[in-house]
Each structure stands twice: as structure tokens, then as C-alpha cells.
Structure 1
Amino acid sequence: MSGIVAAVSSNAEYSFTKPNRDSIMLLAGLGVEGDVHAGVTVKHRSRVAQDPTQPNLRQVHLIHEELFAEVSAEGFKVMSGDLGENITTRDIDLLGLPVGTLLRIGDHAVLEVTGLRNPCLQIDHFQDGLLKQVVGRDEAGNVVRRAGIMSIVKQSGAVRPGDTIKAKLPSGPHRPLDRV
């Protein structure tokens, strides 16, 4: 399973969106160099309020570019970085990956998938009604989250648009993604 990096984004300040960059540097055990969410312990405000000593399983946020086309069909305009992701991907089924999948990006960087992004009401502040587009329910009534995945950095390296992404699944049995 493989894909392509469509865009990279980071922001040193707390903001819902992140500006696109020519490249980002992933730092093992920390996240995106200079990004407000980088660190060994949680940095997302809601998580810090719960317990600031929790490990940061949300160092790098990836989202699939195909989602933007889906929400566009419903009248929403979303571009890379708008939903706060660090890496926008193309042609890889992020939501179908199991926990523990390793993503080799470019020549050196390696991420380990930790779970699903649990989107919050800030998405509706960005564009009213968008939250319902990225969080819904399946036929059985289970919550379905489509706002990307979270990961930790296992191996440092630069990431640029156009870099390849190669997924290495963990040995089974596979655990499906859940919110982190």
C-alpha cells in the first residue's frame, strides 16, 4: 500500500488551520519541528486540561486529500492545512490502516499510526455544518470519524509534497483504528 504527500503544513501558534510549507521536519519522539503540537506529552488543549502528563499520541496529523473532494460535493471548500493537519495525503486509505502501521515517507521519515483524529466543534467554527461531514454514523449506529489519523514519529526526516508514502502493516492480528 502506498501513496503520495500532497501537501505539508505546520504552525508554531495555536490556530485551527496550519499554513502550507515547502517542507516540514519530523523529529523522532516529538512531532513536527516548530509545530505547536510537537512534544513528548500531550499538547492539544483539551488533552492538556484532562491530564498534561499523558503521552502525545497525536504528534502528527495526516488527512486524505480525497476527503476535500467529498465535502466539496456538499458545498464546503477545504484545502490542505485548513483542518489543522500536518500532512495531506493522496492515494492511500489512511482510515483503513490498523493501529501500529508504519508509514515511511520520503527517504528517511517513519511514522507509527496511533489512531483516528477525534474532530471537535472547532470544525463548525471554521465552516458551519462541516463537523457532520467528517463525523457520522454507519448503518449500525456506530460513530464513524473521517477527519484523518494521528501518529507518532519513529524516525526523523524531512517531508515534502511529492514524497512517496509506503505503509508497512504490523503483524496480525490487526487492531482497527479508534480515536486518540
Structure 2
Amino acid sequence: MKKRRVRVPHKLLLGSVFFFLVGTGLLLVTSGLLPRYEDLWPIPLTLLGLLFIYLVKVNNAPSGYIVPGILFTLSGLLLVLRTLLTPYLTMERIWPLFMTIAGISLSMYGRRFTGTFRVKIIVPAVIMIILSLLFLPFSFDLVRERFSSVVTVWWPVLFIFLSLGLFGEYLRKKKK
């Protein structure tokens, strides 16, 4: 007897995630936490991201799918959270978090590789995360000064970080 190949091996898992997200979204509207059904638009974005992650982890899809998977999933969740906390979390405030999400997505993709290709992906991802963390205090008005005046004073710190990186590389090569 020939064994049948199952096209979607984890139908129950996919169904449970789908109904959990849809049910949670609808509960947010019916309980009054979200004012309108239109505010649920990030849920399909989140579901699409989870589908990409599922395809990579279970169906051996190309590893590049992990980038949009993490990007869509985290962005969708952030947008739902923004809708819940609308008075405070405006897009003008949270835009650096999308840079963080993009950096996390790229770094998760870069972890799959070794050697110089890994470095070529992870270094820009880390720079993106650092830049987003640099912009975040200004975006949330935690720093009252203008960004340009802070950069004018503190830009030499880049040389200090560069020297620390070079010194760390020197120590690493010296051990070999």
C-alpha cells in the first residue's frame, strides 16, 4: 500500500492559530477595546507573516521567507497594539520600532549562514537596530533637545565605538 503524502501536515496548528487571532481580534471589538471592525486590518498581515514562518519551519520553503514572515508578524502585532493605545502610540512615535523589526528580521535570516555572507547580513541588521534605538527616545519625547543638536555634540562617540570594535578584533585574532 502506497503511503499518501499530506500536503498540509499541520492543519490543526494552522487552524488553531488562525481562529485564535481572528477570535482575539473580534473579542477586542465586541468588548469595546477597539472602536471599529476596520481596526482589525493588521490581523491578516500577522496571519500572512505566520504563514511565511510556517512555510520555512515546516514545509522547507526557501530560507528567505523568514524575513517577510517575521517582518509581517511583528509589524501586524505592533499595529494592533498601536490601535489599542491610539492616543499615545501614534505613527509619528512608533516609526523607529519598524526599523527594529526589520533589523530583527534580517538578523534572524542572517543566522542561517556562516562566514562573510552572515556578516554581510547581520552587520546592517545590527546597525538598523542601533539606529532605531537611537531615534526612539526622540520619537517618544524622552529627550527634549533637537536630534541635530544632540548629534552635533555626540558624533565623536562613533570613533570610540569604532576603536572598541577594532580592539576586539585585534584581541580575537591574537588568540588564534
Shorter-chain TM band: under 0.3
Instruction: State the TM-score, normalized to the length of structure 1.
Output: 0.23
Instruction: State the TM-score, normalized to the length of structure 2.
Output: 0.24
Tell which has more relative contact order, 1 or 2 (C-alpha 8 A, sep 6+): 1
